[in-house]
């Protein structure tokens, strides 16, 4: 294979790795592009495992990019949420993600609470099934240190209030019930769908109307959702979409994409919603509208 062909064969996996590390499509693409530029400067025949070299350089670049991104996010207006990927068969980016398990938005958000090294070790081990010896080489740490990084990451993600890795049917069932309750404007029906410890987060980035802090608890969340449902624009149309491999809802207003919502069941109350995600920032929404 040519040098270009080797890289292109690995590009989907590298893109999936970078996106999981960063939660931002554009920065993930920049990281992979930088990996390509560095790849062009090496002699592939001198490498025993070109794919391992590419994954190593991509991980290290992503760690550096994550540290810079987190510094910028300190001045972000309102909560920062990872960028959603709406499935589109014509999208190259979607195709790149499909080579590995889809990057569940709830998990990508929870990983924001990990250190860059914890996140890298966790992604490499639990998503890409890399052995600790390889992770140690990538992070330039001992295997023991890498085991501790993964252990801490699992403890943090395991403490999340939402159920990670829920089935599509479970998410779809809750989503359909939420759409029905919102359409009817029934406050109690909305409240009954929410777990006591539900967390609802919306990202407007200062460019769209959104709550400037997360909403906690069923009562507060239901009140806000009910108010929004009763004030919705005439002509607003919900469309079911797949968001990062899970069912979600896109709201179209005047033919334009206004926001995207998805959810995860509660860990303690699986039949109720434990986490609600709403992306309103136009810079982080797809240009091409769904439906």
- Rounded distance between C-alpha atoms, residue 27 and residue 18, angstroms: 8
Spell out the domains of the chain, with CATH numbers in brackets: 3-158 (1.20.140), 168-284 (3.10.450.50)
Paired tokens of 157: 């993600």
Q: pTM for the full model?
A: 0.90
- The band of 102, judged by pLDDT with boundaries at 50, 70 and 90, is low
- Give residue-wise pLDDT tens across range 79-99: 999 999 887 544 555 555 544
SS (H, E, C) 187-241: HHHHHHHEEEEEEEEEECCCCCCCCCCCEECHHHHHHHHHHHHHCCCCCCEEEEE
Residues of the chain with pLDDT > 70, as a percent, come to 91
- Share the mean pLDDT of the chain: 90
Distances (CA, A) of 129 to 41, 101, 114, 245, 267: 28, 12, 19, 20, 25
Residues above pLDDT 90, as percent of the chain: 74
**Top-confidence residue, 267 or 100:** 267
Each residue of 112-128: pLDDT tens digit?
A: 999 999 999 999 999 99
Local structure of residue 187 (DSSP, 8 states):
H
Quick: pLDDT tens for 20-61: 999 999 999 999 999 999 999 998 888 889 999 999 999 999
Give the per-residue pLDDT at 100: 38
pLDDT digits (tens, 9 = 90+) for 69-78: 999 999 999 9
Confidence tier at 289 by pLDDT (50, 70, 90) = low
Q: Please report which confidence band the pLDDT of residue 250 belongs to, taking 50, 70 and 90 as the band edges.
A: very high
State the Cα–Cα distance between residues 188 and 204, nearest whole angstrom.
27
201-237: per-residue pLDDT in tens? 999 999 998 999 999 999 999 999 998 877 765 667 8
Q: Check residue 63 and give its pLDDT.
A: 98
Tokens of 211: 């709550």
Is the Cα torsion angle 6, 12, 18, 20 positive or negative in sign? negative
The lowest-confidence range among 155-159, 174-178, 236-240 is: 236-240
């Amino acid at each position: 294979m040519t040098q270009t062909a080797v890289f292109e064969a690995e590009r989907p996996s590298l893109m999936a790795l970078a996106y999981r590390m960063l939660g931002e499509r554009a920065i993930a693409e920049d990281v992979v592009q930088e990996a390509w530029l560095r790849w062009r400067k090496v002699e592939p025949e001198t490498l025993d495992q070109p794919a391992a070299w590419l994954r190593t350089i991509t991980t290290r670049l992503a760690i550096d990019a994550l540290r810079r991104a987190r510094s910028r996010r300190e001045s972000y207006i309102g909560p920062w949420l990872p960028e959603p990927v709406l499935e589109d068969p014509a999208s190259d980016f979607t195709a790149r993600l499909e080579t590995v398990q889809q990057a569940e938005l709830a998990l990508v958000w929870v990983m924001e609470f990990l250190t860059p090294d914890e996140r890298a070790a966790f992604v490499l081990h639990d998503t890409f099934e890399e052995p600790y010896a390889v992770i140690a080489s990538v992070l330039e740490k001992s295997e023991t240190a890498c085991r501790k990084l993964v252990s801490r990451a699992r403890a943090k993600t395991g403490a999340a209030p939402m159920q990670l890795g829920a089935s599509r049917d479970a998410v779809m069932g809750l989503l359909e019930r939420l759409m029905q309750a919102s359409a009817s404007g029934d406050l109690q029906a909305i409240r009954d769908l929410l777990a006591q410890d539900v967390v609802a987060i919306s990202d407007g980035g200062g460019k769209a109307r959104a709550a400037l802090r997360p909403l906690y608890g069923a009562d507060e969340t239901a009140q806000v959702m009910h108010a929004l449902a009763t004030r919705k624009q005439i002509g607003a149309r919900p469309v079911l979409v797949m968001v990062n491999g899970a069912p979600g809802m896109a709201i179209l207003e005047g033919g334009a994409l206004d926001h995207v919502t998805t959810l995860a069941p509660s860990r303690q109350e699986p039949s109720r919603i434990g986490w609600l995600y709403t992306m309103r920032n136009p810079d982080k929404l797809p240009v091409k509208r769904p439906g």
